[in-house]
Amino acid sequence: MPQIRVRFAPSPTGFLHVGGLRTALYNFLYARRNGGVFILRIEDTDRTRFVEGAVQNLIESLRWAGLDYDEGPGKGGSVGPYIQSERTAIYKQHALMLVEQGKAYYAFDSEEELEAMRKQQEKLRIPPKYDRRALKLTPGEVKQKLESGVPGVIRMKVPEAETIAIDDIIRGRVEFESDRLDDQVLVKSDGFPTYHLANVVDDHLMGVTHVIRGEEWLPSTPKHLLLYRYFGWELPAFAHLPLLLNPDRSKMSKRRMQDGKQVDVFVEDYRKRGYLPEALVNFVALLGWNPGTEQEIFSLQELTEAFSLERVGKSGAVFNIAKLDWMNSVYLRELSDADLIQRARPILEEAGFANTSDAYLVAVFHLMKDRLNSLDDLVSFAGYFFKEPETYDDASKKKNWKPETAGHLHLVRAGLLSLGTFDHAGVEGVIRGVAESSGVGGSRLIHPLRLALTGIAIGPGLFELMVVLGRDTCVRRIDRAVTLLG
């Protein structure tokens, strides 16, 4: 049996989509599980959609996720180059081969002519596709147009009245009627191939044995099957992965809100928001694949050992941000102090908290880790550990800040300054003592004191919070709140 070779072939049109990450992951896992080769190929033949810097971002995103490819840009391999824009002569050669065999033909229609054709078909209520008017051109006319530099394309000639079938690993047998297929453009007027030609030629020349890609490419598959037949090449195995869906079953294609939480579609966004690569990879692995057990937390090695295409389902997989948050929180709690510092530091620096010491960062994290879904929460949810409160929660202020509150907090302030050791027992003793001497319940001190220190009404235990903030910060914030709130 030949060595398994799979590929991830993204287009550099922007950041890596989470659906693309899943496709890359499944290819990676299949290759590693079967001792195969994982190839990265950049499909950049659509120059109108090319985004500068996208290739480097794709590579960095894969590296961040731990998906190391064996062959591709920057690594080389025996069947390169691995960037399609560097292979245009190969595609042109193969397209001309099909023209010579009568399996493809030149067409010189202008955009205006094609638009008129579409409108006429729409008027007649017939399926829109090329009407093959170019096949009426004589060889001499074709030659004259080519020599005169008339812009033209090369189209594949699709057979009529034929059923084209594929046995998909995930979907089983899928059949297509050739009469529904358009004569696909293989080479555009700018000389660049379309996805369809370049994809098939590269998969064959690079020895790809299994094409694992998203369901959105299933309608293109009969065209690819025809190209394999026309060239006389052996078919690879195909596996079309289910779509990623929003909870309302719509296709996950752009950023939106889900249960009050922002749901992004690009890996880069989750990376910036402090989601751990291990968690995101674990999460997307389960979007369509069922391990057949109750296990939900998998290391990359465990995923490799358990993965199989046969356990990938056909139905669309719902992207549940709450599930990702839970999974990420599990991984966060397992971070070592050194790992935490390394991963959280860029997020804090981006927020302007570069001067925070490692010891203080670790102390904040250990106090808050059971409440964090991502490292970004250190800034968005627990930002009061790193900067003075700029506002105070209105509901808590109205409920807990009374005319006598300032006097009570002055007593707390004095007690904190008198402590020999600023620890949990000492802080608790001061607050309990002031409550008793003032004849008020503990909550009459704890709630306004929390508001003064953090600006919000919720958070970790107040005494532990104060120890982490430190005496000077607590005193300064009490003074500020009393001045601002009265």
Q: What is the pLDDT of residue 405?
A: 87
Judge whether residue 371 has pLDDT over 80: yes
CATH class of 88-241: alpha beta
pLDDT in tens, 198-225: 999 999 999 999 999 999 999 999 999 9
**Burial zone of 191 (CB within 10 Å; 0-12 exposed, 13-18 middle, 19+ buried):** exposed
Decide which of 1.10.260.40, 3.20.20.150, 3.40.50.2000, 1.10.10.350 is the CATH code for 388-485: 1.10.10.350
Rounded mean pLDDT of 71-78?
Answer: 94
Distance from first CA to last CA of the chain, Å, rounded? Answer: 81
Q: How many CB atoms lie within 10 A of CB 441?
A: 10
Judge whether residue 19 has pLDDT over 90: yes
Q: What is the pLDDT of residue 435?
A: 87
In our burial notation (b when 16+ CB lie closer than 10 A, e otherwise), range 397-415 reads: beebbeeebbebbebbbeb
State whether the Cα torsion 81-82-84-86 is positive or negative: negative
* Inter-CA distances, 300 with 306, 308, 335, 374, Å: 10, 14, 16, 20
| Residues marked as catalytic | 254
In our burial notation (b when 16+ CB lie closer than 10 A, e otherwise), range 37-58 reads: bbbbbbbbbbeeeeeeebbebb
Instruction: Give me the architecture of the 336-381 domain, per CATH.
Output: Orthogonal Bundle (1.10)
Judge whether residue 262 has pLDDT over 80: no
pLDDT in tens, 470-481: 999 999 999 999
State whether the Cα torsion 452-454-455-461 is positive or negative: negative
Rounded mean pLDDT of 390-411?
Answer: 90
Judge whether residue 335 has pLDDT over 70: yes
Proportion of the chain above pLDDT 90, given as a percent: 86
For helices 277-285 and 321-333, what crossing angle results, to 10°? Answer: 140
Judge whether residue 164 has pLDDT over 70: yes
* Inter-CA distances, 123 with 151, 212, 287, 350, 437, Å: 28, 39, 43, 57, 89
Q: What is the pLDDT of residue 259?
A: 63
Model confidence, pTM? 0.91
Rounded mean pLDDT of 141-170?
Answer: 97
Residue 81 preceded by cis peptide, ω within 30: yes
pLDDT in tens, 420-454: 999 999 999 999 999 888 888 777 889 999 999 99
Contacts of 53 (CB under 8 A, 6+ apart): none
Which residues pair with residue 172 across a beta bridge?
168
Cα–Cα dist 45/441, whole Å:
72
Question: In the structure encoding, which two tokens stand for residue 339, read together?
Answer: 């790992």
What's the mean pLDDT when you consider all of the chain?
94
- Secondary structure of residue 398 in the 3-state scheme: helix
Q: What is the pLDDT of residue 71?
A: 98
What φ, ψ does residue 151 adopt, rounded to 5°?
-60, 135
Q: What is the pLDDT of residue 264?
A: 82
Judge whether residue 260 has pLDDT over 80: no
Quote helix, strand, coil % in the chain, to nearest 5. Answer: 50, 15, 35
Q: What is the pLDDT of residue 389?
A: 92
Judge whether residue 337 has pLDDT over 80: yes
Rounded mean pLDDT of 337-365?
Answer: 93
Q: What is the pLDDT of residue 108?
A: 97
Judge whether residue 255 has pLDDT over 70: no
Q: How many CA atoms lie within 13 A of 67 on its CB side?
A: 30
| Beta strands 261-263; 210-214: pairing state | unpaired
Which residues pair with residue 185 across a beta bridge?
155
pLDDT in tens, 285-334: 999 999 999 999 999 999 999 999 999 999 999 999 999 999 999 999 99
Beta strands in 202-278 (DSSP E): 210-214, 237-241, 244-245, 256-258, 261-263
DSSP letters spanning 114-137: HHHHHHHHHHHT-------GGGGS
What is the domain partition of the chain in residue ranges? 88-241, 336-381, 388-485
Contacts of 424 (CB under 8 A, 6+ apart): 463, 464, 467
Q: What is the pLDDT of residue 102?
A: 97
